[in-house]
Amino acid sequence: MTDTALGTAAEPDGAPRLLNLDILRGIAILGILFMNINDMGASMNASFGDFRYIGWSAADQVAWWIREVVASGTARGMLEMLFGAGMVILTGRLVDDERRWAALKRYYWRNAVLFAFGLIHIFILLWPGDILHSYAMAALVIFPMRNLRPRLLVMFGLAMSLLQLAGGGMGYVESGRSIAAYEAAQVAQAAGRLLTDEQKAAVKRRAERTERLANNAKEVAAEDAQRSGTAAQWVRWQWHQEVAIQGKGIEVFIVWEAASLMLIGAALFKLGVLQGSLSARWYAAATVIAYLFGFAIRIALAAESVRTGVFPHLTQALYEPGRIAMTLGHIFLVNWLLASGIGARMLAPFRAVGQTALSVYIAQTVIALWVLYPPWGLALYGRSGWAVLMLTAVAINIALAVLANWWVERYRMAPVEWAWRSLVAGRRLPFRRNAPFGAPEALAVG
């Protein structure tokens, strides 16, 4: 099956659309809410620490396990790969039609505008978990590599991703040694013997760990107090959370992660994998293989996460390989389903979501952070466990999917996409279905 068989379309600014990519994007953008809603409706700091604090009933545990094994990080991974594919589509078209410098300037301007939208998302709409600004930066980092052969793109992307495996592996070994040294230090202290330098270092690391846990508990309590207080407290805390994220250097890792999967996505697009150009049999086999690796790693890591006590953690080393495997499994599965008539009909509603993905993403924030959870809205912050949060995400996503399908039948672009592309194009692009492609819409009066 090819992307041509599935159909293509063009946006008013000339950007081509592929059905498979739109469906993948739609699924991914809806999946993002399952990752974000616990930080929107409950403590973000609890997510970084003891996630049981959010809720740990039997239903909560089922919801958490499904989210952790099937979804965690994979929607983000799909979007990162699709962003890489988009770079190939856009820059390939621009390089053909314009000089290289003009293509470079146009692509950088496109991502500069997206970066600005991300800042608005953070500081005006109050979502410190924004990915738009991070993806814009990552796209600019990898832009010089866009014309590399697929094999090189995959090699560079995997090398960047799997650096975490090497670093995490060394951390795992070092953690085991530190635990053994700490236990030996306890025995030595009880016997009145002097500690070795290694044992002293292990005792110090254990004290630092205890302090980090205590500080995280304090942060959770402070967050609950601020986000359950006044509107001004809510706003200040959301800004505080963004400053904290930047202060910890987390942004560097987010951009690095995004850039690595964008390179892999660019390669998979050039090979025809993302857009469904390979056979249904190929996608079926690839789905099985990716899920075998993905589920094995993710189940092991989730089981490790729910354990208490001090022990070496594999999560830092194996999280990214597991995330990549599960992300690829989801992509292969979607393309496998699209190869059949039943699957194509089942997934068809996601196409409209993919065509309006940026607006859907912003709408998720508006619903959660401006209606459901803030003190000026329904003030539901902190009242839901994992199960209710996930069900809330399902309800929001269904409503947004229905709205997206209604919208694309009537309008060429969703509102946020229209604003973004109009700014990039430097003119007001056609918005209504009956507006001609060749000329911008007349400005509305009144």
Q: Is residue 328 part of a domain?
A: yes
- Integer angstrom CA distances of residue 274 from 33, 85, 218: 22, 8, 45
* C-alpha dihedral, 372 to 377 to 382 to 387, nearest 10°: -20
Closest CA to 136 of 328, 330, 352, 358: 358
Burial tier of 422 (Cβ tally within 10 Å: 0-12, 13-18, 19+): buried
Cα–Cα distance for residue pair 99/106, rounded to 1 Å? 11
Angle between helices 250-270 and 150-190 (to 10 degrees): 150
DSSP string, 299-368: HHHHHHHT--S----SHHHHHHHHHHHHHHHHHHHHHHHHTSHHHHHHHTHHHHHHHTHHHHHHHHHHHI
Bridge-partner residues for 8, per DSSP? 18
Type and span of the H or E element at 16:
strand 16-18
Structural domain total, the chain: 1
Is 446 domain-assigned? no
By the 8 A CB rule, do 117 and 420 touch? yes
In a domain, 331, yes or no: yes
Q: Which two tokens stand for residue 259?
A: 């850039």
Residue partners of 54: CB distance under 8 A and separation at least 6: 38, 42, 43, 46, 47, 60, 385, 386, 389
Distance of CA 66 to the CA centre of its chain: 17
**Number of alpha carbons in the 13 Å side-chain half-sphere of residue 300:** 16
Residue 18 lies in a domain: yes
Name, in order, each residue with C-beta under 8 angstroms of 187's C-beta and a sequence gap of 6 or more. none
Task: List Cα–Cα distances, 87 to 73, 100, 143, 146, 334, in angstroms.
Answer: 21, 14, 8, 7, 21
pTM: 0.90
If the chain, 446 residues long, is cut into consecutive pieces of 10 residues, what is the mean pLDDT of each piece? 43 66 97 97 91 96 97 96 92 59 81 97 97 95 91 93 70 75 85 87 84 88 96 97 89 92 97 95 97 95 82 74 96 95 92 97 98 98 97 98 96 94 90 60 32
Identify the three-state secondary structure at position 10: strand
pLDDT at 17: 73
Nearest Cα neighbor of 364 from 20, 21, 31 is 31
3-state secondary structure of 8: strand
What's the one-letter identity of residue 52?
R
- pLDDT (0 to 100) of residue 445: 27
* Inside any domain, residue 215: yes
24 in a structural domain: yes
Please report whether residue 440 resides in a domain. no
What are the phi and psi torsion angles at 9 (to 5°)?
-150, 170
| Residue 105: domain span | 3-425
pLDDT given for residue 180 in this prediction: 82
| Residue-level pLDDT at 162 | 79
Q: Are 91 and 103 in contact (CB under 8 A)?
A: yes
- Would you list the DSSP string of 42-73? S-HHHHHS-GGGG--SHHHHHHHHHIIIIITT
Assess if residue 47 is contained within a domain. Answer: yes
- The pLDDT of residue 13: 45
Burial class (CB in 10 A: 0-12, 13-18, 19+), 281: exposed
Q: What is the pLDDT of residue 341?
A: 82
